Structure 1
Amino acid sequence: MACALPPNPAPRTQYPETISHLTLEEKIAQMVMVRIRGDYYSSEHWYRKKLQKYLSVDGIGGVISFGGSIHGSYYNIQQFQKWAKYPLLVAADYERGLGQWMGGGTLFPSNMAMAATGDSSLAYDQGRITAVEARALGVHITFSPVMDINNNPDNPIINFRAYSDNAETVSKFGTEFIRGVQDNGLVACAKHFPGHGNTSTDSHSSLPSIAGSKTELMNLELKPFKAAINADVEMMMAGHIALPGLDGSGIPASHSHAISTELLRNELGFDGIIVTDGMEMGGLTKSAWAGESAVRAIEAGADILLLPMDVEQTLKSVLSAVKSGRINEKRINQSVQRIWKMKSKMGLLNGAAQIPFSELETIIGKTENTAKAKEIAQKSITIVKDENHQLPLIPEKIDSLAHLILSLDEGAGGYLKSLSRDLNKTHGSVAEMLINNPLSKLGRKDILNQLKGVDQILVSLVVRIRMDKGIASIDSTHSLLLSELRQLDIPIVTVSYGSPYLPDYDLLETYVCAYGYGSVSVQAVSEAIWGRVKVDGKLPVSLTPQLDRGFGIPKKKRFNDWGEVQQVEFLNAWSVIDSAIENRIFPGAQVAVVHKGKLIASRGFGRHTYDNSSPPVKQESIYDIASLTKVLSATPITMKLIAQKKLSLEHTVQQFYPQFTGNGKEDITIRHLLTHSSGLPGYYQFFLDDQISTKEDVLDYILNVKLHSEPGSHYEYSDLGFILLTSIIEKVANRSIDRLAHSYFFGPLGMHHTRYNPPLEWKRKVAPTEIDSIYRNRLIHGEVHDENTHLMGGVSGHAGVFSTAKEIARYAQMLVDGGIWEGRRILKKSQIQEFTKVQHIPQDSDLALGWDTPSQSGKSIAGDYFTPGSFGHLGFTGTSLWIDPNKEIIIVLLTNRVHPSRKGDEGSKEMYG
């Protein structure tokens, strides 16, 4: 079973709306649910054979799906429906969505994380998405939400699966989830009635007992379940929990007539289906064997027996109990009628077919679903303590970072894999230590010695809540280590993934709760600790009297979009620009000035053209930045490819184009192209050559052109060199340079008004350039000014990008910050340093790799005030970017000086590039 491409399901047989046609044996079988997985089973597999008998011979009424894949689950559910004597109710445990069990489905954070957001409408969204995805897969029931109140911090199985330790909070979020589920065609099942929160025992291994009188329990544990009933929940799961205050015999609720029937059905008025918790759990098996346990559950009031230990014996024992008169057949009929009614509601009796797999692919795991899960996770992150204001961490100010993972779970490192990757990518080099065993005194001492001397420690605590573990907090020896770490006098940020409860919160100077170790929560922690997102989660449970429910330390997003500009008035500089406009050097200009990470000036001058009706230049005006393209596109993309080991500065062009030979061409390297020392001619009017009409023609010309000088011997600013570099980039990356620029830089940096070939709707914001009289014979407006780039479709590494001064300043700030933007590493700091230092190729050249630097002799195009180590570039249309990393100053000037014509400025080609 489970093939790669499931077939389209065929319509099924129609069935009567009543149960009169069912035999007693078939009715009993309808009350049983067995386990399935979305895995492949060969025709000889023992469980396949057993399952086929359960469904086709015994007539089992339902299945519960665990794990596997989307493909396998879809195919198997269809196959099992075909095997089944009667249509199957298919259930699954989707507390955190389909992604909890199978890759590709949407994975949500835990319920406790959900409540930490403070927004119950998000619980509705989770229910809605879960329902839509589950129904597409062929599932009818989700055994969720958990309506238990986690009012015992030592609870080893509910814990962060509960919304809160407060009845009203659990009720509010749980009922919203129920509505979201059932409004969208899936059955919700509230569990674990009448409440599994106030215990330190896991019912998977033993029978928990919850103290309290009936009045006390009604006013606390039972409140969320009453709310669920009022929200019309269609199914309720009876827990394997003893509540002497409700049934003095001390038997499990799932075996108690007083609890399941007298209280739930009669007193609370629940008329839906009652399903037991798993019959294989230790909370039951220690008190009765499989057959007797099933009989007792039905006597108590259960309609569905979930996962009986022995299916055959269960069926036989219940049949025997009916025939002996211990159970009245009317009691069986009541349950089966409820089950049959639900099957009818789900369309199972009228032959409704499952949707085709091609349609399922457009539903499960789609972007808007995963985005909602990500939103919930980000809003849930809670900063509980931050005594020394460590958060957010600033990677460029941390020289050495250690990541210490403490857990008793062998898979802890795997859960945090995305965090580890992000730490290394953002910081550059992180020493990681994984401890998943108790520590001796010597072991703790060894760890302390290894951590001495680091600048910052991040401690990740992974407490996994799962059956038969009996763990609700960190190991005692790990707690001792946390105490000893404080003595190192090193800043420590501690994050808990899973249980938020710790033995001693005084050990922690900074404490963050994620309430889970699912990938969506782990990724949200990365966003939070680096300050990429606002943090505003609130504790949904009480940790101490001081760290009480509702407490949380808010943190603003560390980075903003420079929406609030200080607007320092550089009056002398502004007068120079105003004078240039008055003297018709350019019709308008746009300036951005950044100092120490703050945008201190961002404004426009003049108009798009000299026409008084032309739009005024604003911060949002867009300019053709000409050769600034070289340093915003081709150069940084080269850096990326070098970091990916796809390219090297010492690679020769001939490696990519073997025909590039003769006249010393075989010695030209990527380094030569970036330093304009390749010997290639600087410029050629391809657009006026009748023999050249395509990008391929341009490349062919460059590969065959004669060099002007020996490689490395002379500087000649060369567009041809960057056109050749563009071709190499696209060959190596197997993607066009415009797509690379967007995915590597413009997208991650939020440069939403920076791109090649601006769309038509941008035109009113774009400042026009030249009135072309030799090539296009029209005003160049909204299309690239550079004629050669236009010939090549508007995309090249030497020209073609349009942008704003403010967005170019974003890019420049990333370089000043060592390659980091909003807590994400975009480029390596070491690469930035290498690419922006003078290469001395040839010896008297001031060029870096792709960048220019202030001239050390004579007049400099950078002016007189930029310090050594500064770098920048110019563009022919009248654009300029200069960066002084020492003073943390960025100056961007954009103009359209070529409007209406470049005439009178023939000598500026060398200056502007």
Structure 2
Amino acid sequence: MSSKYLLSIFILFISLETLGQAGKTFMEPTDSQQIWVDSVFRKLTRKEKIAQLFFLRAHTDKGKAYEDAVAAIIKKNKVGGLVFFQGGPGRQAALTNSYQKLSEVPLLIAMDAEWGLGMRLDSTISYPYQMTLGAIRDTNLVYEMGKKIAGDFKRIGMHINFAPVVDVNNNPNNPVINYRSFGDNKLNVASKASAYMRGLQDAGILVSIKHFPGHGDTNVDSHNDLPVLTFSKERLDSLELYPFKELIRKGASGVMVAHMNIPALDTTRNLPSTLSRPIVTGLLKEQLGFKGLVFSDAMEMKGVVKYFPDGEADVRAIIAGNDVIELSENAPRSIKLVRRAIRQKRIPMDQIDESVKKILAAKYWAGLNTPQNINIVNVYEDLNGGDAHSLNQRLSDAAVTVLKSDSLLKQFSASRKTAIISLGVTEVSQFQKEMQKRFSNSTNFILSKIASAADIKNVSNNLRTYDQIVVAIHDYRKRPQSSLDYNDELKSFISHLAGLNTVTCLFANPYVIRGLPGVEKSKSLLVNYQNSEEMQLAAAKVLSNQMQASGRLPVTINAVFKTGDGIQFFPVPTSVSGQVE
């Protein structure tokens, strides 16, 4: 038998084994995985082993000097991976090829892309926020989204998505999680997060569920300061930790640890959970039995460096048991500090070795045991083609939630004289454009978030002659918070409009309803969670009786509207003329 034939058989064996990784994690090692891990591990020096624990920040929107600086660190320090942020997909694919060629051990490439590549990259698709997904009843749609995002990741050479968020957002004033959470019901959060995670992992992308042990009930953003959780162990175990335990049980490949001070779990003053050995090793690894990769949250955040500056945070994160140090303020400095900590017996080398072997096992699972070269032709077309837009619309359609409905919504007719008012905008909204396609006898009105009393009065006077009124409340902010930034006059006008023959459609964070007293008086109230074009089309389809609404509220807003609320609204069949049959 020829050597060429034997080589072909070996390559086929490896390929079949790689295909068989779907549904498995790297924590379930194969013989070939172990052989590759051991062969790479044996060649690493002590410094190179330490460097495998560090993942650098990377961009394609900061110019060549920045890109060259990252390249120099990769080449000199031989770090383990990169975390890409803003830029473009084609540029990132090309730059990833360049960076991989510089690295003797292939790099794991990660991104914080909770709602897909569009969270970071231009010319790519943004899927719904997790709170929007929390309203969807069909978890299969969320699984499909996970698989599609995984395909996008692989297309541009990435291996890890720092998602899903499994925090239970039971604090409406949470400044950092909020709409990034699936909601305030731990069962719903675990169910939706599990579907998203399975979609990613089944399609060959590693995850990092976050932010352990639960960042949902904080009122401090750990990017800016250190939050303190004052809850008991019993409360944390029964609520915050529940989704983590469920996803770990289902094979989560990674967990990200948050920067929070939690006295019930570690009484050390001002110590972030990321740097706590009782939390990272004692709770996560030993008590919960997690065997995958433990990622620190970004180590440049004020929540961790405020009390542990100048690289000490990175050293303590490793002592605590983190396997990957994400976004160190200065990776070369910290690598030196970790080497010193090993010499000083603060960190056992066996612990470093264990983390390195896990990282290498993850690299094998991601396919990095064979050379990868990303095809940089037609990147935009590949990421924006196929059924991506269709899936995005199906997700949005499934999220529309009717919180209140009386006969008005069922009697809504395209033939009646209709006023369509978009608030918080400076030009005709996508919702108005979609509605005008369906309601020919309609007129558009717009008011900006700083509309004057005269502007509001003018619109109000015009409404007297209309049979039905649709009010759309828009929030165009990049990060939709729990309260609108409208002026007081416009908020009062919303209350006034609700008392008329009005259907109100909210294209904003659902928590904003708390700051709009009187909006519950609307004849019908549709919650659409965000201001995307897909959600605006979905609402128009419901109002024109083209589609049923089946969403359920994923959070409690006030005493009137609570988690799980939502009316199963079915369209009334209409004739070609638009009349009810």
* Corresponding residue for residue 339 of structure 2: 319
Say whether the 8 Å CA contact 2:556–2:562 is kept in structure 1: yes
For 1:196 and 1:474, the matched residues in 2 are separated by 23
* Corresponding residue for residue 503 of structure 1: 514
* Corresponding residue for residue 520 of structure 1: 534
For 2:411 and 2:119, the matched residues in 1 are separated by 30
**Farther-moved stretch of structure 1 (330-339 vs 357-366):** 357-366
* Corresponding residue for residue 703 of structure 1: none
Say how many residue pairs are matched.
Answer: 534
Q: CA deviation at 1:361?
A: 6.7
For 2:388 and 2:364, the matched residues in 1 are separated by 29
Say whether the 8 Å CA contact 2:413–2:578 is kept in structure 1: no
Q: 1:123 to 1:596 in 2, by over 3 A?
A: closer
**Farther-moved stretch of structure 1 (94-103 vs 255-264):** 94-103
Q: Is 1:422 paired with 2:434? A: yes
Q: Is 1:20 paired with 2:39? A: no
* Corresponding residue for residue 29 of structure 2: none
* Corresponding residue for residue 272 of structure 1: 292
* Corresponding residue for residue 24 of structure 2: none
Q: Is 1:158 paired with 2:177? A: yes
Q: CA deviation at 1:362?
A: 7.3
Q: 1:360 to 1:271 in 2, by over 3 A?
A: same
Equivalent residue for 2:491, pick from 482, 497, 521: 482
* Corresponding residue for residue 712 of structure 1: none
For 1:201 and 1:404, the matched residues in 2 are separated by 30
Q: CA deviation at 1:357?
A: 4.2
Equivalent residue for 1:243, pick from 262, 269, 280: 262
For 1:324 and 1:280, the matched residues in 2 are separated by 25
* Corresponding residue for residue 462 of structure 1: 475
* Corresponding residue for residue 245 of structure 2: 226
Where do residues 403-442 of structure 1 align in structure 2 (5 Å cutoff)? Answer: 403-405=422-424, 418-423=430-435, 429-435=443-449
For 2:373 and 2:90, the matched residues in 1 are separated by 14
For 1:110 and 1:394, the matched residues in 2 are separated by 31
Q: Deviations over 1:5-41 (max 9, x none)?
A: xxxxxxxxx9963412212222222111122234483
- The amino acid of 2:557's aligned partner reads L
For 1:311 and 1:49, the matched residues in 2 are separated by 16
Q: CA deviation at 1:404?
A: 1.3
Say whether the 8 Å CA contact 1:463–1:473 is kept in structure 2: no
Q: Is 1:30 paired with 2:52? A: yes
- The amino acid of 1:459's aligned partner reads A
Q: 1:363 to 1:481 in 2, by over 3 A?
A: closer
Q: 1:307 to 1:400 in 2, by over 3 A?
A: same
Q: 1:272 to 1:161 in 2, by over 3 A?
A: same
SS in structure 2 at match of 1:91 = strand
For 1:309 and 1:519, the matched residues in 2 are separated by 38
SS in structure 2 at match of 1:35 = strand
SS in structure 1 at match of 2:155 = helix
Q: CA deviation at 1:394?
A: 4.1
Equivalent residue for 2:225, pick from 176, 188, 206: 206
Q: Is 1:173 paired with 2:173? A: no
SS in structure 1 at match of 2:85 = strand
Q: Is 1:384 paired with 2:384? A: no
Q: CA deviation at 1:180?
A: 1.4
Q: CA deviation at 1:401?
A: 3.3
Say whether the 8 Å CA contact 1:448–1:485 is kept in structure 2: no
TM-score with structure 2 length normalisation?
0.84
Q: Is 1:337 paired with 2:349? A: no
For 1:392 and 1:373, the matched residues in 2 are separated by 29
- The amino acid of 1:179's aligned partner reads R
Say whether the 8 Å CA contact 1:243–1:253 is kept in structure 2: yes
For 1:123 and 1:487, the matched residues in 2 are separated by 38
Q: 1:472 to 1:465 in 2, by over 3 A?
A: farther
- The amino acid of 1:374's aligned partner reads Q
Q: 1:396 to 1:76 in 2, by over 3 A?
A: farther
Q: Deviations over 1:808-863 (max 9, x none)?
A: xxxxxxxxxxxxxxxxxxxxxxxxxxxxxxxxxxxxxxxxxxxxxxxxxxxxxxxx
For 2:429 and 2:354, the matched residues in 1 are separated by 50
Q: Is 1:118 paired with 2:137? A: yes
For 1:36 and 1:417, the matched residues in 2 are separated by 35
For 1:329 and 1:413, the matched residues in 2 are separated by 60
Say whether the 8 Å CA contact 1:91–1:142 is kept in structure 2: yes
Q: Deviations over 1:221-241 (max 9, x none)?
A: 000000010111010000112
Q: CA deviation at 1:314?
A: 2.5
Q: 1:388 to 1:313 in 2, by over 3 A?
A: farther
Per residue, is there more helix in 1 or in 2?
A: 2
Unmatched 5+ residue regions in structure 1? 1-13, 406-411, 563-593, 600-913
Say whether the 8 Å CA contact 1:423–1:430 is kept in structure 2: no
- Seq. identity, %: 28
Q: 1:453 to 1:420 in 2, by over 3 A?
A: closer
Where do residues 54-69 of structure 1 align in structure 2 (5 Å cutoff)? Answer: 54-69=73-88
RMSD value, Cα: 2.9
Q: Is 1:77 paired with 2:96? A: yes
Q: Is 1:96 paired with 2:96? A: no
Where do residues 675-824 of structure 1 align in structure 2 (5 Å cutoff)? Answer: none
Say whether the 8 Å CA contact 2:112–2:162 is kept in structure 1: yes
SS in structure 1 at match of 2:193 = helix
Q: CA deviation at 1:317?
A: 2.5
TM-score with structure 1 length normalisation?
0.55
* Corresponding residue for residue 533 of structure 1: 547
SS in structure 2 at match of 1:155 = coil
Say whether the 8 Å CA contact 1:402–1:451 is kept in structure 2: no
Equivalent residue for 1:401, pick from 420, 424, 427: 420
SS in structure 2 at match of 1:34 = strand
Q: Deviations over 1:304-344 (max 9, x none)?
A: 11112233332332233223332222222221111111112
**Farther-moved stretch of structure 1 (323-332 vs 238-247):** 323-332
Equivalent residue for 1:143, pick from 158, 162, 177: 162
Say whether the 8 Å CA contact 1:392–1:529 is kept in structure 2: no
Where do residues 283-682 of structure 1 align in structure 2 (5 Å cutoff)? Answer: 283-351=303-371, 353-354=372-373, 356-357=375-376, 363-386=382-405, 389-390=408-409, 394-405=413-424, 418-423=430-435, 429-435=443-449, 443-444=452-453, 446-454=455-463, 455=466, 456=469, 458-462=471-475, 464=477, 466=479, 471-475=481-485, 477-478=487-488, 481-487=490-496, 490-501=500-511, 502-504=513-515, 506-508=517-519, 509=522, 510-557=524-571, 597=579
- The amino acid of 1:422's aligned partner reads E
Q: CA deviation at 1:181?
A: 1.1
Q: CA deviation at 1:403?
A: 1.7
Q: 1:85 to 1:53 in 2, by over 3 A?
A: farther
Q: CA deviation at 1:208?
A: 1.5
Q: CA deviation at 1:369?
A: 2.9
Q: Deviations over 1:854-892 (max 9, x none)?
A: xxxxxxxxxxxxxxxxxxxxxxxxxxxxxxxxxxxxxxx
Say whether the 8 Å CA contact 1:132–1:363 is kept in structure 2: no
Q: CA deviation at 1:367?
A: 3.0
For 1:548 and 1:27, the matched residues in 2 are separated by 51
